Amino acid sequence: MGMHYNEVTPDKLRLRCDPDIFKFDCTSDIPSLREFIGQDRAIKALQFGLSVDHDGYNIFVSGLGGSGKTAIVKTYLQRQEEVRGEIHPDDWCYVYNFDDADRPSVLSVPQGKGKAFREGVSNVLDRLKEDLAKAFSSEEYQNRRKALVEEVQKEQQGMFREAEEEAKQQGFLFQMSPMGPVAVPTKNGEPLSQSEYMAMSEKDRAQLEERRMELMKKLQTMFEKAGDLQKQLGERLESSDRETAGFTVSHLFSGLERDFENVPQVRKFIDGLKKYTVENLEIFKQQDPQQQQQQMFMGMPANVLARGRDPYLPYQVNLFVDNSETKGAPVIEESNPMFTNMFGKTERRFLLGGYLSDHTMLKPGSLHLANQGYLLVSIRDILMNPGVWMALKRAVKSHKLGVEDAYETFGLIAPQGMKPEPMPIDVKVVLIGDPFLYQMLATYDDDFWELFKIKADVNPEIERNDDNMFAYAAFIAGCCEDCEIKHFDPSGVAKVIEYSSRHVEDQNKLSSRFAKIKELVQEAEHWAKSDNADLVSSSHVRRALDEQKFRHNLPDERIREMITRGTIMIDTEGSVVGQVNGLSIYALGDVAFGKPSRITCQTFLGRGGVINIERESQLSGRIHDKGVLILSGYLGWKYAQEHPLSLSASLCFEQSYTGVEGDSASSAELHALLSSISDIPLRQDIAVTGSVNQKGEIQPIGGVNYKIEGFYQVCKAKGLTGQQGVMIPWNNLQNLMLDEEIVEAVEQGRFHIYSVKTIDEGIELLTGIEAGRRRDDGTYPEGTVNNRVDSKLKEMAGKLRHFVSPDGGERREARVPSHAYEPEG
């Protein structure tokens, strides 16, 4: 009937890119071609999520690292804002709260007006200092104040003279003591001495004391009246000050009131500032800066300076968010989303052994800056910073954001903590992450679906068609323009595109992980520059790829050296029963490469089935365990329809001391198992890869290029015979993008690639014997592999019956105790 395996022709080993299709000026098409290459799905999600027809949604952009997720979102938003120019984000300011200084107020002003508001208030303060100081130091003001004081003093002095006259008439004299005024009795106009006072009769002393008490009551009434006059003087002086300052204050604030007459929050603040000015005129009466500085630490006025604050603090406006230079909705990208960078912070200054803060020390975070716009941030970075994810969800849900203090958030005590008024926010948050984090959050975070309704998937692979290849050429040209490096010729562009297909292991796809492509472009240009070439060609791209491989392939070379020296035992010639070369991928983080692994199988009589030694030694992963269990299903389906399987078999990856995972070696293990049962040797010059199902169909696997190249390099190191090759699943032909050296070796007949669809095709290639198809009576043709396997299994089943008792248990031969043959002592 003939063999059924197929040898792969060289033209299918690598889909080449024709350089002639790139003979046009790529740079002229850079704006139209280099963006959104093959990302229609992601763009549609962004269009819906950020639509102007509704409020839009927060978005999770999912994709692999280096696939340009952030660049796609930023470019899309920038394009949208060119059309949506009607968005004018407000400026936001924090100002002094006259009711509670530790609760600064937030207010918004039209875009670009924040600076004018801040400078306007500052200018008003400067004018207040100047004009009020002049008003309070004018001769007219001093004369009016002097007249008021003299009038009250004159009235008070008249009262004191009347009191002295009355006291004198009653024989007393006023004297001041530390306890206040005292009425001292007199005799002949002189104070009465102690001896004279004691010489008086008790009656006279009682009468004298009675007169003194009456006089003191009158004096008390007089002093109360004098106090009332002093209080009235203070009120009249304060009224005079307000009258003097009233016109100046109203006049100076009138300009600000006109500029912001349509902003109620600003008008309210100006009214409070005017009231504060009139109530604290003392801070404007001192022209000497040293005197003003002294007032800051003397509690004057008490309601402002009691905590060491600047008396002019209410006149300072903190322009918290300045959008004067922003065009359209702001697009903020936060590369380091630590707590303070995201939600702002409160700065503090050290004063007299403590820390003070005020509204001017509030600093915005990215979420504040992105208000009325978009915030782009990595979800991985957010989750790695404590407290950020929970705080972000709170802000997005409540649409309010203050300046949260990290100390309080983490349960620490904040020195003089402030509670600024929360700022209303309307931000579209665009999270950038990978599919794994999206799935984890969607599964375990109940708020995630509610807050991030739209998922935009960035495809890591795009179709390899003419449009996308032209876009790739434009992208390469754009990289050259951005990095100011040499441009590529058509052969260089074609080689980059071939590398892109190899990167995704698909002849019909291109990689959209443009970070890798940009690295290759830059390194290839370096080698072109070292050759003094005007343009970067395919040879320079190849040199860059070879250099990248050289920098990372030390582990690959070491393992290959151990195989060549025989430390790791791999045969690349001859045939062996129950032994086959499987192919494995070594993934070491920064590099991946393929290497052959010797797989052996031993079969013997028993009912143990297929034993996976890797599993028994706990070196096997779940997928590999599943692949081995499938082998029993295949054996039972194909050979145990009329009799039970009666064998034990052990499978082993020889010289494997680390974990084994994946099912790509299951077809190789099955070939070794069939070889061991049938006692037919397998070719050692052909390595095998591919998984298998219970029907014996060979299934595609990953890393096919690495595996082929790994075995080729081992064969090359040990000596190519012209017979060596690799057997791969037929469905993996579309994934072949092999190195040029291997393609050339296949063209010259020094190496071979075979594709198979079933286990039967594979066993024919490895043994050189026809597999044999099952006949209608359930038998296989004589001399075929399947016939040998079937016959052997029947033979083993027959032998096993001799060891089974009628009741199903094992028969045991009678044994004579060993001591029966021992000589008697």
Q: What is the pLDDT of residue 2?
A: 54
391 in Cβ contact with 409 (< 8 Å) = yes
How does DSSP classify residue 699? E
Quick one: pLDDT at residue 136? 66
Rounded-to-integer distance, Cα 502 and Cα 13, Å: 11
Higher local confidence (pLDDT), 800 or 397: 397
What single-letter DSSP state applies at residue 356?
Answer: E
Q: How far is CA 701 from the centre of its chain?
A: 33
Number of neighbours of residue 207 by Cβ within 10 angstroms? 12
Would you state the pLDDT for residue 297?
A: 45
pLDDT of residue 400: 92
Q: Is 233 left (phi over 0), alpha (psi -120 to 50) or beta?
A: alpha
| DSSP helix/strand/coil, 421 | coil
Ranking 167-171, 556-560, 792-796 by mean pLDDT, the lowest is: 167-171
CA distance 601 to 651: 5
715: nearest Cα among 685, 759, 683: 685
- The pLDDT of 419-443, averaged and rounded, is 92
Taking phi over 0 as left and psi of -120 to 50 as alpha, with beta for the rest, 125 belongs to: alpha
Residue-level pLDDT at 299: 42
Classify the phi-psi angles of 299: left when phi > 0, otherwise alpha if psi is within -120 to 50, otherwise beta.
left
- Which span out of 154-158, 177-181, 507-511 was modeled with the highest average pLDDT? 507-511
Q: Is 524 exposed, middle or buried (0-12, 13-18, 19+ CB in 10 A)?
A: buried
> Which of the given ranges, 27-31, 38-42, 613-617, has the highest pLDDT on average?
613-617
Q: The tokens of 40 are what?
A: 């229609």
pLDDT at 819: 41
Q: Which two tokens stand for residue 318?
A: 């903190």
Instruction: Tell me how far apart the alpha carbons of residues 218 and 648 are, in angstroms, rounded to a whole number.
Output: 127
Residue-level pLDDT at 84? 54
Q: Is the confidence at residue 298, as pLDDT, over 70?
A: no
454-457 and 59-62 beta bridge pairing = parallel
pLDDT of amino acid 25: 55
Place of tokens 């003397």: 298
Give residue 333's pLDDT band: very low, low, confident or very high (50, 70, 90): very high
Q: 422: helix, coil or strand?
A: coil
Kindly state the tokens that stand for 494.
């074609």
pLDDT score recorded for residue 416: 58
What pTM, to 2 d.p., does this model score? 0.76
Residue 33's Cβ-count burial label (10 Å; 0-12, 13-18, 19+) is buried
CA angle at residue 457 from 455 to 463, to 5 degrees?
Answer: 155
- Distance in angstroms (rounded) separating the CA atoms of residues 115 and 79: 28
Nearest to 578 by CA among 771, 723, 763, 795: 763
Average pLDDT, the chain: 83
